[in-house]
Amino acid sequence: MSSPDTAPPARRQTRQRTAVLELLDELDGFRSAQDLHALLRERGDSVGLATVYRALQALVDDGLVDVLRSGEGEAAYRRCSPVHHHHLVCRACGRTVEVADPPVERWAARIAAEHGFADVQHELEVFGTCGSCAAGRG
């Protein structure tokens, strides 16, 4: 009943997808698809822009990458751990720290239940200026 075979991913391993994931592994903060595309080009592992978008989408679907849609109209991607977590992001340099807050998990479930909501999900991000950036021009 619970869709036993959710269409086996059967992701094909290509140079492009490997390049995107390796690049993300080397970077620390969230980066836009356009940025990643440019970085790959500089680096030599040139990959088509559309392919970068497709690879990122696949990685997100597989839970290997997190996507952040805050602020402007440019999504940012980051290689993250597969367990549920939230982010503390520096507005200036993009440095990111994965953080967890068990209480908020419970709170979200409870508040949703109290209002009769089901199928609950939540998004929690914290933005700020990291020490280096706060210190004069870090």
Partner DNA sequence: CATGTGCATGGGAATCATTCTCACACAGCT
Partner DNA sequence: AGCTGTGTGAGAATGATTCCCATGCACATG
Q: Which residues bind Zn ion (CB under 5 A)?
A: 66, 80, 105
Q: Using the rule CB under 8 A, is 70 a contact of a copy of itself?
A: yes
The residue written with tokens 């992701």 in the block is 11
Q: Which is nearer to a copy of itself, 16 or 57 (CB)?
A: 57
C-alpha distances in angstroms, 118 versus 102, 112, 113? Answer: 19, 7, 7
How many other C-beta atoms are found inside a 10 Å radius of the C-beta of residue 105? 14
DSSP letters for 24-72: HHH--S-EEHHHHHHHHHHHS----HHHHHHHHHHHHHTTSEEEE--SS
Q: Using the rule CB under 7 A, is 54 a contact of DNA?
A: yes
Q: Using the rule CB under 8 A, is 49 a contact of a copy of itself?
A: no
Instruction: Report the residue from 29, 80, 123, 137 that binds a copy of itself according to the rule CB under 8 A.
Output: 123
Element (H, E) at 7: none
Given Zn ion, DNA, a copy of itself, none, residue 66, with its beta carbon under 5 to 8 Å by kind, binds Zn ion
Instruction: Report the residue from 50, 61, 69, 81 that binds a copy of itself according to the rule CB under 8 A.
Output: 69
Residue 92 beta carbon to a copy of itself: minimum distance, rounded to whole angstroms: 10
Instruction: Report the residue from 25, 26, 42, 119 that binds a copy of itself according to the rule CB under 8 A.
Output: 119
